[in-house]
Structure 1
């Protein structure tokens, strides 16, 4: 992993100077929490530390945006709020979102002790009882249960990367503030979800409905429970069709993606796919702008040729960046998923509170 990212100035993060041997990258002061998003997922950081005092956003916005960032990366999140109380709104809101590593003490010695615990993965702030409920992202979503969007990802041939694209798409949608899940829906005989559970010895499972959760991604290996899955409130259901699937069923989904490649074998497989079924299927796939195409491992020099080859579908043809870890969002692919899904970034409306609102245990100071 790439070491530590400190979201804030080097002065604010001075405690780190002799606390770790890992390389530390400082972003400099950032007042708008949304401007941190791409920086946090730009590299495979082991730990991301946020200086909360620099932000000028409402505490609800800070907490929800940071939660979305955490869904897109496997980094550990730590929070500097030197001199602050654990009962402050921003700390309570972050604890509500499942974060527990905070450096609060204003004295260097105790603060370093807290930081050492955080870097070792230990909680320094446990659950906090509070009277007023904190708003959640789901309450402000632009999608609701009953308006679920189903995305179908199929491949033109085997081992083309449908699973990676499906997982990356789930991570992207989470990054944008939406609830999304992965559904294994292929006939290859390879149980990706089950193998992931066994290899990683995962314990966050629900065998009754075939759910396995890893890196904040809910994965389902039992599509026969789709009615129960839909009832759980996901806004997006991302189906991994693999390469052996019914074109008719694939075309029935709301958003259809075909993963392709540029090698002679992969291009030939793509041609075979187009010829499947009746001519009307081929016409629908190629000319009606109803399908999106993601090409993997294409040299930049060949991209224009590929788009020309795709003819009328060229405007719906995209190129995926190299993604070695499917469970960590590769920000280079964000423009691709943004164009395909048109998913909005779900942000809780700001109340235009000022800096002092972060330090208030109540409603804060209105500006």
Structure 2
């Protein structure tokens, strides 16, 4: 790893505008908050501009958490989770290693630091433990365009947000995964995997020897082969569907192929009156909120919490 160290005091805003272009081949930009002479609003403006222009990962070193709570909360809102805070050398080393790892730090970790430092920013960070390693979750769809990939990625990001190690596997032939870095420049691209906000993304044929708390399989459109794979290999299965009059027949044909106690259904784009009808007619159904952001782990949080009760323990 090539390291370039700049000493002294700086204006982060001016640095981003005038100097960063010559350094954008570096993977990380690490900033000691004490070296900045910017106001808080200038720092946030610089971070927003940086995220729009560059793909390097930003890491902040903020030793005085208590007096920088408000700034930290605003950095979290801008997607900056790699915030190193320790004053102890050994702990500091571990935090730096985590911040520069493939997955980096997650939102839950930095919020926990606020709480542990008696922050008053309104952060409540429950602790979770996970029943098993490598719990396999299958997400499949009745047809194309029913939200299967969105639900799978949303779920993976929710799991990462509560501190789980999680892997998303594109277990279909759509080829969507390797298109993502074209749109999301801050993704870390490896030979056959991607990492982004604490989730590792793999193609089905990628080699990976790591253990995860959860593995989320995006299986595409359901068929007999997928149903058999779910029965033999997966602890939890979710079927994505819609319920327009010309769509519900496909759902009914599919749902009867599953064992009634092994499949949960997430319906998308359902009106309130239709929700009541579907709940009365079918078992284990959920209704998703509109989630235009692929990486929004919070939008359907109540669904994920319910589905994961057997696998996640809130401490």
User: Is this a same-fold pair by TM over 0.5?
Assistant: yes
Q: Please tell me whether Structure 1 or Structure 2 has the larger radius of gyration of its CA atoms.
A: 1
Check whether the contact 2:142–2:240 (CA below 8 A) recurs between aligned residues.
yes
CA distance in 1, matches of 2:305, 2:187: 33
Residue 326 (1) aligns with residue 294 (2): yes
Q: Which residue of the partner structure matches residue 211 of structure 2?
A: 233
Q: Secondary structure at the match of 2:267?
A: strand
Q: Which residue of the partner structure matches residue 153 of structure 1?
A: 139
Q: Identify if the C-alpha distance between structure 1 residues 93 and 151 changes in structure 2 by more than 3 Å, giving closer, same or farther.
A: same
Check whether the contact 1:176–1:344 (CA below 8 A) recurs between aligned residues.
no
Q: Identify if the C-alpha distance between structure 1 residues 97 and 19 changes in structure 2 by more than 3 Å, giving closer, same or farther.
A: closer
Q: Which residue of the partner structure matches residue 206 of structure 1?
A: 190
CA distance in 1, matches of 2:178, 2:42: 43
* Alpha-carbon distance, 1:244 to partner: 4.2
Q: Deviations 1:15-73 (Å, cap 9, x if unpaired)?
A: 64687679xxxxxxxxxxxxxxxxxxxxxxxxx9x983289xxxxxxxxxx9xx97xx8
CA distance in 1, matches of 2:150, 2:45: 33
Residue 194 (1) aligns with residue 178 (2): yes
Please report the RMSD computed on the Cα atoms of aligned residues, expressed in angstroms: 4.1
Q: Deviations 1:322-345 (Å, cap 9, x if unpaired)?
A: 11111132x241111111122436
* Alpha-carbon distance, 1:224 to partner: 3.6
CA distance in 2, matches of 1:159, 1:165: 11
Q: Secondary structure at the match of 2:145?
A: coil
Q: Identify if the C-alpha distance between structure 1 residues 307 and 232 changes in structure 2 by more than 3 Å, giving closer, same or farther.
A: same
Q: Identify if the C-alpha distance between structure 1 residues 179 and 158 changes in structure 2 by more than 3 Å, giving closer, same or farther.
A: same
* Alpha-carbon distance, 1:97 to partner: 3.6
Q: Which residue of the partner structure matches residue 52 of structure 1?
A: 65
* Alpha-carbon distance, 1:263 to partner: 1.5
**Equivalent residue in structure 1 for 2:169, among 165, 183, 188:** 183
Q: Identify if the C-alpha distance between structure 1 residues 214 and 18 changes in structure 2 by more than 3 Å, giving closer, same or farther.
A: closer
Residue 248 (1) aligns with residue 228 (2): yes
Where does 1:8-87 land on structure 2 (aligned, <5 Å)?
16=40, 52-53=65-66, 75-77=79-81, 86-87=87-88
Residue 173 (1) aligns with residue 159 (2): yes
For structure 1, list consecutive stretches of 5 or more residues without a partner in the other structure: 1-14, 23-47, 56-65, 100-139, 276-280, 348-367
Aligned length: 232
Q: Which residue of the partner structure matches residue 248 of structure 2?
A: 267
Check whether the contact 2:84–2:92 (CA below 8 A) recurs between aligned residues.
no
Q: Which residue of the partner structure matches residue 361 of structure 1?
A: none
Where does 1:270-309 land on structure 2 (aligned, <5 Å)?
270-274=251-255, 281-282=257-258, 284=259, 288-309=260-281
Q: Which residue of the partner structure matches residue 163 of structure 1?
A: 149
Q: Deviations 1:59-91 (Å, cap 9, x if unpaired)?
A: xxxxxxx9xx97xx861248698xxx8548986
Q: Which residue of the partner structure matches residue 201 of structure 2?
A: 219
CA distance in 2, matches of 1:202, 1:79: 17
For structure 2, list consecutive stretches of 5 or more residues without a partner in the other structure: 1-38, 47-59, 101-127
| TM-score for the superposition, normalised by structure 2 | 0.60
